[in-house]
Amino acid sequence: MRTQVVIVGGGPSGMLLGQLLHRKGIDTVVLERRTREHVLSRIRAGILEQGLVALMGEAGVGDRLKAESYLHEGTLIAHNDQMFGINFQNLIGQSVVLYGQTEVTRDLYDAREKAGAEIVFEAEDVSLHDADSDAPFVTYRKDGEARRIDCDFIAGCDGFHGVSRRSIPAAVRTEYEKVYPFGWLGILSETPPVNDELIYANSKDGFALCSMRNASLSRYYVQCSLGDDVGDWSDTRFWDTLRHRLPDEVGEALVTGPSIEKSIAPLRSFVSEPMRWGRLFLCGDAAHIVPPTGAKGLNTAASDVHYLYQGLLQFYQEKDSEGLDRYSEKALARVWKAERFSWWMTSILHRFPDQSPFDLRMQAAELAFLRDSEDAQRVMAANYVGLPY
State the Cα angle at 377 between 374 and 379, rounded to 5°: 115
Measured between alpha carbons, how far is residue 357 from residues 158, 225, 351 in Å? 42, 21, 12
Choose, from 22, 72, 330, 350, the residue flagged as catalytic.
Answer: 72
Rounded to 10°, the helix 101-115/12-22 angle is: 40
Backbone angles phi and psi of 129, in degrees to 5 = -130, 140
Is-catalytic flag, 316?
Answer: no
Choose, from 109, 140, 180, 384, the residue flagged as catalytic.
Answer: 384
Choose, from 193, 247, 291, 292, the residue flagged as catalytic.
Answer: 292
Choose, from 79, 288, 296, 350, the residue flagged as catalytic.
Answer: 296
Please check whether residue 111 is in contact with residue 60, taking contact to mean a CB–CB distance below 8 angstroms: yes
Please check whether residue 366 is in contact with residue 372, taking contact to mean a CB–CB distance below 8 angstroms: no
Is-catalytic flag, 200?
Answer: yes
Q: Which residues is 118 bridged to in the sheet?
A: 29
Listed residue (120, 177, 142, 166) closest to 280, CA to CA: 166
Choose, from 99, 140, 200, 221, the residue flagged as catalytic.
Answer: 200
DSSP code, position 137:
E
44-80 residues labelled b (16+ CB within 10 A) or e (exposed): ebbbbbebbbebbebbbbbeebeeebbebbbbbbbbe
Is-catalytic flag, 181?
Answer: no
Is-catalytic flag, 292?
Answer: yes
Please check whether residue 325 is in contact with residue 307, taking contact to mean a CB–CB distance below 8 angstroms: no
**What is the CB-side half-sphere exposure of residue 359 using CA atoms within 13 A?**
11
Residues noted as catalytic? 72, 200, 292, 296, 384
